Each structure stands twice: as C-alpha cells, then as structure tokens.
Amino acid sequence: MGKVTTPAPPYPEGWFCIGFSREWKAGSVGTRPFAGGDAVVYRTRRGVLRVIRPYCPHLGAHLGAGGTVDGEYLVCPFHRFAFAPDGTCARTPYGTPPRASLTLLPSREAYGIVWAWHSPDGAPPSGELPSLPGPFHSPRAFRATEEAGTPEEVTERVVGRILSRAGSRHVGRRALGPGAALVVIEPVRRHLRAAPWSLALWVLTTPVSPGRVRRWTAGSAAVAPVARLPRPLSQRARQNSPVLRGGRGTGSPTPSDPGS
C-alpha cells in the first residue's frame, strides 16, 4: 500500500494583519475575509477590540450583517442576544441568557495594526508579535489588493520589489510573521538626510482563501530617538546628522538586528 501523505494546510500558522486600528472607532463593527471564512471585528464603547467568527451561537445569524455595539456588548440583529467581550451571552430580551458563546479569535493591536491569529488546528498563539524598536506612527494603507499566492510568497515578492527600488537607501527589514514584514528606508531627499526619521513600509498579507491573499502596503514615518531604531539605521543616521553626532539622541542602542 502506498504511503499516505497528509495535504499541507491551506494557511500557515501565525499572526496576520486584518486591518488598521483607526478603522474601528468605538461602537463600530466590520467584516473581513480571513482564512477561508469571515471574521467580524468590533470595538466596544470603552475601546475593547474583539475579532470573532461571524455566526451567532443562537440561530447562526451573521453578526457582521446588522450586529451592533451596545456599551460593552455586541448585539445580534435577529433576536437581540447580547454578548460580552469574553464571548459569553450576557443578556437576551427573553429572560435568562443561555450558556452560549461567540467564537473569539486571538487578536492583538500593535503598531496601529489589528492582528488576528490563525492556526490550522485552532491552537492558541504559540508566540507573540515581535517587539519593534519604535515608536512607529500608525501606518496608513495606500494600497490594498487581492492576489494569488501564499502569504509567505506574496510578502517575499513585495519586499524584494521594495528593496530593489530602494537601492542603496535600504536600511533594514524585519519579518513580523508569515505574512508581514517591515522595511525601513532612510530619507529620500538630500536635504532631509540629517532628519532623525525614516520611512517605514509595512507589507501585510491576510490569507483569505486557498492560494489567495489580501495584501496591504502601508507607510508611516518612523520617528524615534535614533539609538532606538534598528542598528544599521542608527549608524547611518549618526554619520549623517550633525544633531545626532552631537549626542542629543536618547536611549541606549538596540541589541536587535533588523535583518531577517
């Protein structure tokens, strides 16, 4: 009998961008395609952000289609069952709430980006997002496309394109997960070369269906004490900046290397 091989899962395990923090104001609800289905993202009035699978545990209504935030609860549009941030049903118009719960997806907000965890077998996060030597301003997406490929392939391809265009101005890159990377580029114009800031380009992909990803390219100014930026940038900025050569940079050199 031939050897039975298990097909590879269609999506890798890891943290994926599912949008940007600024998209979800208090009280807002939105739907995003994620790993073969939908994910509903909402923010409570006090600012708690949750990412959930979309179906109401009562009779299966899609909570992204008419679900509303009432205080700290997400309310189903069909029979008005209300769910607390821990997913449990906290209130119904019909008496004692049932022991039913939403399916929460592990999520994080970091660098102005909303991240959701995917594991092929539903396992909890096996690690956290890397800590960056920021602070970085929240990125603004300037392009979102859907394209063929896995998160790793598309991220690698786009990062390669950015690096080849950046030429000698490329100063560092860091992988943030299977579908996310950060490229830091020094200032473009000659008269800005002394400025202690750089351009941070974020390449972010979300697996949406087998072999397809949604891809964002987003940019932000990385404004930071130079000593806290990735090491290659610190070295170049010190050489280029009379201010920084004069020792007005603060903080201690980061031990991390942005190369990935």
CA distances from 64 to 84, 99, 123, 194, 237 (A): 16, 22, 24, 48, 46
Task: Give the range of 55-63, 121-129, 201-209, 215-223 binding ligand FES by CB under 6 A.
Answer: 55-63
Does position 144 interact with ligand FES (CB under 6 A)? The reply is no
Query: What distance in Å separates the CA atoms of residue 242 and residue 222, rounded to the nearest whole number?
Result: 19
- Give the count of residues interacting with ligand FES (CB under 6 A): 8
Smallest distance from ligand FES to CB 60, Å: 6
Q: Between residues 91 and 170, which has the closer beta carbon with respect to ligand FES?
A: 91
Task: Give the range of 29-37, 74-82, 176-184, 210-218 binding ligand FES by CB under 6 A.
Answer: 74-82
At 96, is the secondary structure helix, strand, or coil?
Answer: coil
* CA-based end-to-end distance of the chain: 43
In angstroms and rounded to an integer, the radius of gyration of the C-alpha atoms of the chain is 22
Q: Between residues 56 and 116, which has the closer beta carbon with respect to ligand FES?
A: 56
Return the residues of window 239-258 that contact ligand FES according to CB under 6 A. Answer: none
At 153, is the secondary structure helix, strand, or coil?
Answer: helix
Does position 81 interact with ligand FES (CB under 6 A)? The reply is yes
CA distances from 165 to 11, 64, 140, 158, 176 (A): 29, 40, 20, 11, 21
Give the residue, chosen from 17, 18, 51, 56, that forms a contact with ligand FES under the rule CB under 6 A: 56
Q: Between residues 17 and 82, which has the closer beta carbon with respect to ligand FES?
A: 82
Binding site for ligand FES (CB under 6 A): 56, 58-59, 61, 76, 78-79, 81
